Amino acid sequence: MSQSTQLTDTGQLKHFLSIDGLSKALLTEILDTAESFIEVGERKIRKVPLLRGKTVVNLFFEASTRTRSTFELAAKRLSADVLNLNISTSATSKGESLSDTLLNLEAMASDMFIVRHSQSGAPHFIAESVTPGVGIINAGDGWHAHPTQAMLDMLTIRQNKGTFDGLRVAIIGDIMHSRVARSQIQALNTLGASEVRIIAPSTLLPPEVESLGVNVYHQLHSGLNDIDVVIMLRLQRERMQGALLPSEQEYFQQYGLTQEALANAKPDAIVMHPGPINRGVEIESAVADGTQSVILDQVTNGIAVRMAVMSMAMSGQTQERNALTQGA
């Protein structure tokens, strides 16, 4: 991922496509900005005027009610106008090319596209295709990346642990098909976590997994030893080809997070899950709803993080547009 695609010449965010290549300082700026937006959600009138007069388009080629809803709420809290494009009934399903669809949306004076796509790299392609001044935010692409999910997870960790220094984090489950896990690993390593472990059966690990900067465990109980943060992942059956697992019941017996398994982690360990949760498959209800769970905090933080990323990217686009105008 080229930094020049995501950043202005002065290092400001103009698109948010991947954690890869972004600095610790920039990730920290996103977290700090998001922290300042949390208070907006507690107001009687939950709005700030930062994106007033701007148009944000939710361009979801892949369904996701929660992610789309939090982006919509985030944009509206920034006072933007929001268009939700139903791709299944749009012109792209009638044979129109993606490029033509984008050109038509740009002709409506759109300022930002929130893109979710089943093909890895689609948001990057769109970022390189759109007119300068239009921001692209990746809301999840294929198996590649889900950077805003990773950053809301990082905000939740920082709120509960204060710092990433010395933290040991375990990510458990379907690593192979998880764009969330890839983005989480990049963010944790950039922000300075002491150790990132992944715990999974070998059939759910990508090739050369150690190159991601993780330690690999195949046994849940030993992998959870001395862990500060436990991140569970959803089994993504819709992306699996072939029989990678014998059964969900057997998977839960070996890798499901129960109270007994969680006891191997530190007593003050927090439990996270990007959702949607498959209870009794990845995690038991007693843990998901227990005192160590911060899963609902993740949902709340999603709005603040997306407000931060959208406002920062729009600011960067404005800076770049002004620079182009002055240079003309």
Q: Give residue 241's pLDDT.
A: 44
Q: Give residue 61's pLDDT.
A: 84
Q: Give residue 238's pLDDT.
A: 47
Cα separation, 17 vs 55, whole angstroms: 19
CATH number at residue 231: 3.40.50.1370
Same domain for 102 and 187? no
Torsion of CA 7, 12, 15, 21, to 10 degrees: 50
Bridge partners for 216 per DSSP:
198
DSSP code, position 239: G
Pairing, β 229-232 against β 168-172:
parallel
**Per the confidence metrics, is the pTM higher than 0.75?**
yes
Same domain for 245 and 188? yes
Q: Give residue 120's pLDDT.
A: 86
Cα separation, 327 vs 27, whole angstroms: 30
Same domain for 179 and 285? yes
Q: Give residue 221's pLDDT.
A: 96
Q: Give residue 246's pLDDT.
A: 63
Same domain for 124 and 178? no
Phi then psi dihedrals of residue 267, to 5 deg: -60, -30
Q: Within 13 Å, how many C-alpha atoms sit on residue 104's CB side?
A: 11
DSSP string, 291-310: TTB-HHHHHHHHHHHHHHHH
Q: 220, 255 in Cβ contact below 8 A?
A: yes
Q: Give residue 327's pLDDT.
A: 64
Q: Give residue 88's pLDDT.
A: 55
Same domain for 271 and 232? yes
Q: Give residue 132's pLDDT.
A: 84
Same domain for 14 and 47? yes
Same domain for 123 and 173? no
Cα separation, 109 vs 112, whole angstroms: 9
Same domain for 155 and 232? yes
Same domain for 276 and 207? yes
Q: Give residue 2's pLDDT.
A: 52
pLDDT along the chain (328 residues), means of 10: 78 95 96 93 85 94 86 96 75 61 80 90 89 91 92 98 98 92 97 97 88 95 98 71 65 94 98 91 95 95 96 91 69
Q: 201, 252 in Cβ contact below 8 A?
A: no
Same domain for 163 and 140? no
Q: How many CB atoms sit inside 10 A of residue 75's CB? A: 26
Same domain for 9 and 72? yes
Host domain of residue 261: 147-299
Q: How many domains does the chain have?
A: 2
DSSP code, position 211: G
